[in-house]
A = this chain, B = another copy of it.
């Protein structure tokens, strides 16, 4: 991801541009899977772009609050982060190897309306996660 692209997106969302924010945003846009804070940290380390863990947490909080990034608590412990393209994402996680795949399609938009009528809640968002065995682990 080019620095310039970042700057425009940041400006549009009134996020101050910093070296660290560009790097974190770059890592996320370059990844085709959601990443944990730890993974982002390691990727940056490997690129010799060391950065404090707490800085990564704070940067991600900003991105999430500006709706540039989606935070998902899929497993019990670590949260994963990914850039939001057009809409929100759902996930499949392999319960054998831990691989996480993001899904773009959302099958429950219609159901939400029925549920609003039924429960009288005003529904704002939802999370959907599937658990199973990925093609590789299925074979074993």
Contact = CB atoms under 8 A, between A and B. Distances in A.
Contacts of A119: 92, 101, 103, 135
A76 B76 contact: no
A121 B94 contact: yes
Contacts of A101: 119, 121
B124 A112 contact: no
A126 B129 contact: yes
A130 B107 contact: no
A121 B126 contact: no
Contact of A131 (B94, B125, B138): B125
A85 interface: no
Given A73-B76, A128-B127, A122 B133 contact: yes
